């Protein structure tokens, strides 16, 4: 079976930026920030409007990244929610 390498045009992980979690390249906006909004009912256009530095393509790539990395993103979102509630 061949291995498929995941390539994301807009998603990166950078040491020292958002604890090394996946972010939209060139920003400090984490994938879990975007996904949290979507899971709470925001539409792609709402997210792009709420984060003016993001394009719709970047929001869609966050969704694609989430589909491939649900456990990682769900964990990051849960940790952020726990820190907010503390």
pLDDT in tens, 52-72: 999 999 999 999 999 999 999
- CA dist 64 to 8, 10, 19, Å? 9, 11, 21
In angstroms, rounded to a whole number, what is the distance separating the alpha carbons of residues 36 and 70?
Answer: 12
Domains of the chain, start order: 11-80 (1.10.10.10)
Query: In the chain, which residues have pLDDT < 70?
Result: 1-6
**Does the CA dihedral 12-18-24-28 come out positive or negative?**
negative
């Amino acid at each position: 079976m061949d291995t498929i390498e995941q390539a994301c045009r807009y998603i990166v992980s950078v040491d020292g930026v958002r604890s090394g979690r996946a972010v939209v390249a060139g920003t400090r906006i984490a994938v879990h920030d975007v996904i949290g909004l979507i899971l709470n009912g925001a539409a792609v256009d709402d997210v792009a409007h709420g984060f003016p530095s993001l394009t719709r393509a970047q929001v869609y790539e966050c969704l694609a990244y989430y589909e491939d990395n649900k456990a990682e993103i769900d964990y990051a979102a849960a940790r952020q929610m726990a820190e907010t509630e503390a």
